[in-house]
Amino acid sequence: MLWGFNLRVGLLHGCSFTDYDHEMNGSRIILNSKVKHFCFRLFAVLIGLFPFVLLEFGLSLAEVGQSASKGDPFVEFLNSQPLFVLDKERKQMTIASFRREFFAHDEFPVEKKPGTYRIFCLGGSTVQGRPYSIQTSFPTWLKLGLEAAEPNINWEVINCGGVSYASYRLLPIMQECLKYEPDLFIICTGHNEFLEDRSYTQVKGIPDWSKTTINQLSKLRTVSAATSFFKDQQQNKPILPTDADAILNYKNGLAAYHRDPEWNEAIAEHFNSIIRRMMSLCQKADVPLLMMLPPSNLSGTVPFKSETENTTQFDEQVVQELKDEARSHYRTDLKQSVVLWKHVCLIDEFTASNHFELGKCLEILNRFEEARAAYLKARDLDVCPLRMTSSLEKVLLSVTQETQTPIINLHQIFQDKSDHLILGDRWLVDHVHPNFEGHQQIAFTIGRWLEEERVVELSQDWEAECQLIFKTHFESLDRTYFHKGQRALQGLKLWTQGNADGPPVEKKFPHLLRN
C-alpha cells in the first residue's frame, strides 16, 4: 500500500518510477552518512569519557571520595572534644563533665554484654527533654517501655541531646558513637540550624539553575574527591567553638537577626549535606538509622521577630491603618477583620506577625485549613527561626525518601492528635519542646516502629502497661526536678525574646547589626 501511494505521488508530479527510485536511493545514502557521522561522534565522546569512568570505578573500589565523607565541607570546630570519657573505676563511658553545660549526665558500660541492644539518641534540647531533663525525655520513656516489653534484653538508650545543638554539631557525635557498638541511631534535628553565626561564602553567588546539576555531580566520587582537595587547600570554612555559641545567648540577641534569603538557602544546603553524611556513615557501618522530624508550635507561638520588606513610608501608614481597622472589628465583625488582614498580607506579605494574626482570626471562625496555612506562613517568615522551617522539612523528607531512610514525622503525629489539626499548646510546653505526655507519645511511636522492624515484640496492652510504669517513675522524681524545669522554662522564654544574661550582642556580633 505504501509503495503504491509513493508511485502515485511520483506520477502526479510528472516523474517516472525510475526517477523516484533514484531519488529514494540518494536519500538513503545521505541518511546513512548522517547516522555514521553521529555514531562516530558518539564513539569519540565515549572514548573521551572512558578514563573518567575508569577513575570513578577505581575510587569506588578504594572507597575514596565518597559524596558523604566524614568531614563537614561547611564548618570546622576550634577544639573538638569527645562527648564521652572513660570512668575506669566504674568501667563506664560517661558524658564528660566539661560538656555538662550542654548535655545531661548519661552513661553506658564500656563492655557491651551479650543480649544488649544499644540505642544512641542524637539531637538538640528536644531530645534532652528540656526545659526539664532526661528523666522525663522520650529516650527514658522508651527504655522503660522496651524493658517492660522484653525484660530479657538489656536495653541501653543513651541520651545525646545537646542544648542548642544543630545538625552539623551532631555529625562528630555520631562519628564518636560509631566506636561504641551501636545497634541503632535515632536522630531528631532541624530546630537549631539558625542559632549560630556562620558564613557561607563558598555557596553564595551560585546561580539557581546550576545548583541541581552541581548537586547531582557532587554524588560522583571523582567530583567529590576533587572538591574536597580544593576545599582543603582554601581553608576558608568558618571555625566554630567546641560547644554551641547561640546568638540569643547574648543580651538583645534578636537585634542580630534580619531577613537574609541567601543565608537561609545556604543553611538548607548545609542541612542537606549533613543529613546525607550521617546517613552515609550509618550505611557504611551497617547501623540502622531512624530520623525524626521535630514538632513546631504553630497556634501558640507568636513569631519571635517580624520585619517588613520593600515598603515605602506611605505603604507603612496604609498598612497600619488597615491593621487598626481590622482589630477594631474583633468584637463586632470578625469576618471583616479577616478581609482586612488578608489585604494587609497582600501589601506587606513578608511580615510574619501579619500572617499569625490572620491565622488567629481564621481559627476563631472555624476556618481551620486556612488558619493552619497562615500559621505555617508566619513560622516560615519568622526572621528569628527557632522552629524548623518548611524548607528544612522539605529537605529532610526528600532525602529520607530518596535514600529510603525510615522517618517519623513528629509534627504530623502531634498535628493529627490536635484539635482541628492545628498543632499548638496541647502537646508542647513552648515553641518546640514536647510536654511530658508528648515525650511519652514519641516513645510509643518509636516502640511501634521497632516492632515493625522486628526488634521487639509488643503485647496488645503494651501502652497501658507502660502508663503504670511511667506513673511510678514519674512519682519517684523529687519536687526539685520540677522546680528546676519551671525555672528553665521561664529562662527559655526570656532567651527567645532576646533577654538572655550574656554579654551585649553588639560586642560579639557587630557585623550582624544594622543601623
Domain boundaries, the chain: 2-62, 82-188, 313-381
**Confidence at residue 231, expressed as pLDDT on a 0 to 100 scale:** 45
Q: Any idea which residue has 503504670 for its cell?
A: 468
When pLDDT is averaged across residues 454-477 and rounded to a whole number, the result is: 97
The pLDDT tens digits for 373-398 are 999 999 999 999 999 999 999 999 99
Banded pLDDT at 430 (limits 50, 70, 90):
very high
**Confidence at residue 204, expressed as pLDDT on a 0 to 100 scale:** 46
Give the pairing of strands 92-95 and 84-87: antiparallel
Q: What is the pTM of this model?
A: 0.83
**Confidence at residue 2, expressed as pLDDT on a 0 to 100 scale:** 41
**Confidence at residue 354, expressed as pLDDT on a 0 to 100 scale:** 98
The pLDDT tens digits for 134-171 are 999 999 999 999 999 999 999 999 999 999 999 999 99
When pLDDT is averaged across residues 95-101 and rounded to a whole number, the result is: 96
Query: Minimal CA–CA distance to 182: which of 121, 140, 123?
Result: 121
**Confidence at residue 44, expressed as pLDDT on a 0 to 100 scale:** 73
How far, in Å, CA of 378 to CA of 388, rounded? 12
How far, in Å, CA of 361 to CA of 430, rounded? 21
**Confidence at residue 217, expressed as pLDDT on a 0 to 100 scale:** 53
Query: Contact 186/173 with Cβ under 8 angstroms?
Result: no
Based on the number of CB atoms within 10 Å of its own CB, is 166 exposed (0-12), middle (13-18) or buried (19 or more)?
Answer: buried
Tell me: pLDDT of 132 over 70. Answer: yes
Banded pLDDT at 14 (limits 50, 70, 90):
very low
Tell me: pLDDT of 441 over 50. Answer: yes
- At the second CATH level, the architecture of 313-381 is Alpha Horseshoe (1.25)
**Confidence at residue 163, expressed as pLDDT on a 0 to 100 scale:** 98
The pLDDT tens digits for 26-70 are 555 665 676 667 777 777 777 776 676 666 656 555 555 444 445
- Percentage of the residues of the chain whose pLDDT score is greater than 70: 81
| Cell numbers representing residue 160 in the block | 545525646
When pLDDT is averaged across residues 84-111 and rounded to a whole number, the result is: 97
Banded pLDDT at 514 (limits 50, 70, 90):
confident
Query: Contact 423/464 with Cβ under 8 angstroms?
Result: no
Quote the strand ranges of 427-484, DSSP E: none
Banded pLDDT at 238 (limits 50, 70, 90):
confident
Query: Minimal CA–CA distance to 492: which of 301, 263, 243?
Result: 301
**Confidence at residue 102, expressed as pLDDT on a 0 to 100 scale:** 97
- Percentage of the residues of the chain whose pLDDT score is greater than 90: 73
Q: What's the DSSP call for residue 420?
A: G
When pLDDT is averaged across residues 438-454 and rounded to a whole number, the result is: 98
Banded pLDDT at 344 (limits 50, 70, 90):
very high
**Confidence at residue 313, expressed as pLDDT on a 0 to 100 scale:** 73
Task: Determine the Cα angle at 164 with ends 449 and 395, to 5°.
Answer: 55
Banded pLDDT at 438 (limits 50, 70, 90):
very high
Mean pLDDT value across the chain: 87
**Confidence at residue 367, expressed as pLDDT on a 0 to 100 scale:** 98
**Confidence at residue 427, expressed as pLDDT on a 0 to 100 scale:** 98
Name which residue leads in pLDDT, 361 or 23: 361
DSSP-assigned states of every residue in 285-342: HT--EEEEEPP--SSS---S-----S--HHHHHHHHHHHHHHHHTTTT-HHHHHHHHH
**Confidence at residue 281, expressed as pLDDT on a 0 to 100 scale:** 97
